[in-house]
Amino acid sequence: MCMYDEDDWLMISGIQHFVFCRRQWALIHIEDQWVENILTYEGQEKHKRADDPKFREKRKDVIVERALRVHSPTLGVTGVCDVVEFYKSSTGVGLSKYPGLYVPLVVEYKRGREKKNLSDVLQLALETMCLEEMLGTTITTGDLYYFATNKRISIPIDEELRNTAKKTVQEMHNYWEKKYTPIVKTGKWCNRCSLKDICLPVLEHRQNVRIYMEERLGKE
Ligand code: SF4
């Protein structure tokens, strides 16, 4: 089984960038470019409460952990779960700090409402798969909570979703290994991109070179 070196573990949250735009992900995670914009700022503010690493709560049969760090050497990813709830159950796993057995449930908090793309679901699946690997258990569902609609949605972590998550991470690793920033199609979504001021002039320049060359060759 392939085990990635810790230096090559990719940030799970990066899948948000990767699904939105492969190039944006590479600019941020391979080239270390980052520009704050209002969308990323708002997202961080909303996450503040969920990301309090000192927070741990035990209710009767439920333990709630916030900002729980997870990783998977086999997938080569690492990240922080906003919240993990552990429900006492005879079908669960043992936890070092508490007596009894517990079934874990990852809860990922999101600004805005449900997205049409798979980025939130894939992030949730990867966090869940990390937790499974760390605890030696199987977790069948996870939850997404959306601030804008105040909705909490249960997501089945099924075979199809797992395979899509693995395939997407493999694609990220391929770019990472080659340290390659792809050139992609631009569109109206670029207006919402934190990196458009860095990215678009470069792409436009490349396009100009192509057009220039085509014109030159056409004339000769
Ligand atoms: S400006 Fe457009 S093409 Fe460039 S990184 Fe952003 S979304 Fe991708």
Residue-wise DSSP of 166-188: HHHHHHHHHHHHHT--------G
Q: Indicate if the pLDDT at residue 54 is higher than 70.
A: no
pLDDT of residue 56: 66
- Distance separating alpha carbons of residues 147 and 168, to the nearest angstrom: 26
Is residue 130 domain-resident? yes
Is residue 11 domain-resident? yes
Q: What six digits make up the tokens of 19?
A: 């699904």
pLDDT of residue 146: 96
- Distance separating alpha carbons of residues 204 and 100, to the nearest angstrom: 60
Query: Which domain covers residue 122, as residue numbers?
Result: 6-219
Total of domains in the chain? 1
User: Average pLDDT of the chain?
Assistant: 87
Is residue 55 domain-resident? yes
Output the CA 192–ligand 1 centroid distance in Å.
9
Output the CA 85–ligand 1 centroid distance in Å.
36
Is residue 114 domain-resident? yes
pLDDT of residue 39: 56
State mean pLDDT over 41-66. 68
Output the CA 19–ligand 1 centroid distance in Å.
12
pLDDT of residue 36: 64
Q: Indicate if the pLDDT at residue 204 is higher than 80.
A: no
Question: Using CA atoms in the order 204, 208, 211, 213, what is the torsion angle rounded to 10 degrees?
Answer: -140
**For the domain that residue 125 is a member of, what is the CATH number?**
3.90.320
21 lines ligand 1 (CB under 6 A): yes
With residue 100 as reference, give the H or E element that holds it.
strand 98-110
200 lines ligand 1 (CB under 6 A): yes
Is residue 156 domain-resident? yes
24 lines ligand 1 (CB under 6 A): yes
193 lines ligand 1 (CB under 6 A): yes
Is residue 153 domain-resident? yes
Mind listing the pLDDT tens digit for each residue in 74-87? 999 999 999 999 99
Is residue 1 domain-resident? no
33 lines ligand 1 (CB under 6 A): no
Mind listing the pLDDT tens digit for each residue in 110-154? 988 999 899 999 999 999 999 999 999 999 999 999 999 999 999
Contact present, 145 and 108 (Cβ < 8 Å): yes
DSSP designation for 7:
G
